[in-house]
Structure formats: C-alpha cells, structure tokens
C-alpha cells in the first residue's frame, strides 16, 4: 500500500455514503464521521449520497478518488456494482475490488469458497422461495439461524429453537431480496477481527447486554461490552490468522472486518466478511485500531491510502 504524507496527494475525495440499501442510516452516520476526520487532516473531501450521484460526479471529473462507506447491496457499495462502475470510469476507490466485494456480500458464496479451501464455517442450507424449510432444519438440526444471504447489520436475522418459530423467521428474512441462508447456530462467544492493509487488528469479543448482538445492540445500546483483545496468547493469534486467511481467500484488500463465532470448545467458525465496515461511534474497526494506537483520523487516512493500489509506490 502506498503511504501518503501530503493531504493534497489525495486530490478531491468523494465520501460515498447513504444510498438506497437497507443500511442507509448506518451509512449516513459512518460517512459523516469519515468526512469530519478527513477534513480535520486537511483533505479536500465532500459527501456524495448514493451511486447515481457518485457516478455523475465522476463523469463530470469533479472528484479524483472515492472513500467508499456505502453499506449493503442494491444501492449500497459492497456488492461490486459501485466498484465496477468506478473502474470503468477510471476513478480509484477504497477497499476491495469487484469480485471480492460481490463474493463477500453473498454469504452463501463466501461459505462455498471457504469450505472448498478447508476454512471452518457453520454448516448451512440454501433456501429458495418454495423450498421446504423443514427439510433444511432436519438436515442441520435445531437450533438454527435464518438470515438473508445478502444483507448486513443483522438485518432480517432470526434464531430458531423450535419448529413453530420457523415460519415467522423465514417471513422476516424473505422481506429482503435474494436467497435465504439457514445456518447451524454456534453457541459460544461472538468475535470480530478488523483488517487494515495486510494485517489483522486485535480481535474484539462482543458481549451484548441482551441475549444477542442484534441491530439495537450494534447501533443503539450503550450497554454492549467490547473486550479488546478478545482473546490472549495462541488463541488470539489463531483467530487473527483465520480472519486474515478468510479475507484473502475471497480476494479482499485494503480494509474490512471478519465476523467469527467461537464455540465452547474453543473452535472458530467464520460467519462473514464486511468490505466497507461501519465507522459509527459503536463500530468495531475503529475500536480495534484504537487498541493499537491508531486514532480515528489516522485510520481514515490509512483506509484512504488503499485507494492508491496500482498507482505506484
């Protein structure tokens, strides 16, 4: 990754935020924080809401590069669509490329890659409209997690402990586009590992006040505990190495976050990779970066440096 010392070298930076995905509000919050941090470091940054406005600005040559903090798909910036458009226009951007973004946004395809390469992830069944959900449950056994395959921020997720709860769980997840993922529930601790450049940041163990780390616990509640590092010694080294491997095998680059479950026997299971993680006051990559002495402004600078891939050292 090219290291930049002069803010003028970044040129005119568009902070891509908002959009039309289910994660719009989180993206607006993230984008406002990133915009403030970049401007505080002397970078010429401006907010641009959504992909159409961003493409228009790029075509008009009003921007030189993009800090992508659009979340989600279908109007978000994590599914490869934005990346493809910017590459066609020759505009550099932060984070992963087209294929890696598309793979990471699709939890089913991510799992297929990991399983093919021997990386651990919970057992699962793909659920399409019209499929018999009880067959999936019979194959996996209860309890299971039912979720949309292409959403983030805990949108549309249910944990199912009895067959009577299945119809409501499927109905909730089916509000969102695409296939559903029915996944074996791993009972244990929830962890996340931020990636910055070629390094895994310290893990974070997430301890919600309630039973689960849901949307409210992520973005609203101030009672959730974040323990960083989440593990120690060999266990911490193991989870960081696994997260970095998961990130690389999907072809990801620049920065991101890998979510992991750790069961009561100490086995790690990969859940998903986020290629444009949240940058809100509750977000986890900033917390992990801070644990190793990287403040929020410096983190945003470092992420923006990832937009220089292929532009020389």
Instruction: Return the pLDDT at 154.
Output: 64
Q: How confident is the model at residue 134 (pLDDT cuts 50, 70, 90)?
A: confident
Q: In the predicted model, what is the mean pLDDT of residues 123-151?
A: 84
CA dist 35 and 37 (Å) reads 5
3-class secondary structure, 69? coil
Q: What is the DSSP letter of 251?
A: T
Instruction: Return the pLDDT at 135.
Output: 84
CATH number of 7-95: 3.40.50.20
Instruction: Return the pLDDT at 312.
Output: 40
Residues 51-103: pLDDT tens digits?
Answer: 999 999 999 999 999 999 999 887 788 899 999 999 999 999 999 999 999 99
Instruction: Return the pLDDT at 313.
Output: 34
pLDDT > 90: percent of the chain: 70
Domain 124-184 classification at class level: alpha beta
Q: Over the chain, what is the mean pLDDT?
A: 90
Sequence ranges of the domains in the chain = 7-95, 104-120+187-291, 124-184
| Beta carbons of 67 and 95 less than 8 angstroms apart | no
Task: Retrieve residue 95's tokens.
Answer: 């984070």
pLDDT at 311 over 60: no
**Is residue 229 reached through a cis peptide bond, with omega within 30 degrees of 0 on the bond before it?**
yes
Instruction: Return the pLDDT at 213.
Output: 54
Q: What is the DSSP letter of 187?
A: P
CA dist 272 and 257 (Å) reads 8
Nearest to 207 by CA among 187, 227, 237, 180: 227
> How many Cβ atoms from other residues are within 10 Å of residue 84's Cβ?
15
Domain 104-120+187-291 classification at class level: alpha beta
Give the catalytic positions in this structure.
23, 153, 219, 257, 259, 272, 274, 278
pLDDT at 218 over 60: no
Q: How confident is the model at residue 152 (pLDDT cuts 50, 70, 90)?
A: low
């Amino acid at each position: 990754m090219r290291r930049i010392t002069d803010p003028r070298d970044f040129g005119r930076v568009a902070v891509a935020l908002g959009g039309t995905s289910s994660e719009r509000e989180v993206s607006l919050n993230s984008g406002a924080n990133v915009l403030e941090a970049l401007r505080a470091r002397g970078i010429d940054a401006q907010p641009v809401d959504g992909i159409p406005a961003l493409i228009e600005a790029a075509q008009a040559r009003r921007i030189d590069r993009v800090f992508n903090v659009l979340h989600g798909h279908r109007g978000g910036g994590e599914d490869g669509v934005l990346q493809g458009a910017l590459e066609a226009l020759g505009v550099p951007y932060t984070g992963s490329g087209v294929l890696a973004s598309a793979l990471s946004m699709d939890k089913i395809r991510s799992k297929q890659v990991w399983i093919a390469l021997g990386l651990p992830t919970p057992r699962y069944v793909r659920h399409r409209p019209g499929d018999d959900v009880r067959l999936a449950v019979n194959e996996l056994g209860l309890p299971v997690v039912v979720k949309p395959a292409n959403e983030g921020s805990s949108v549309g997720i249910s944990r199912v402990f009895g067959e009577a709860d299945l119809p409501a769980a499927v109905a909730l997840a089916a509000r969102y586009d695409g296939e559903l993922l029915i996944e074996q529930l791993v009972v244990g601790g929830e962890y996340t590992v931020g990636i910055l450049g070629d390094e895994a940041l310290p893990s974070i163990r997430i301890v919600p006040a309630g039973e689960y780390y849901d949307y409210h616990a992520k973005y609203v509640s101030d009672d959730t505990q974040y323990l960083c590092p989440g593990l120690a010694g060999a266990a911490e080294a193991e989870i960081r190495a696994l997260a970095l491997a998961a990130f690389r095998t999907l072809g990801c680059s620049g920065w991101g976050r890998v979510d992991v479950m750790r069961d009561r026997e100490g086995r790690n299971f990969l859940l998903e990779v986020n290629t444009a993680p949240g940058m809100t006051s509750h977000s986890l990559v900033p917390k992990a970066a801070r644990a190793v002495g990287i403040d929020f402004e410096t983190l945003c600078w470092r992420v923006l440096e990832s937009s220089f891939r292929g532009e020389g050292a």
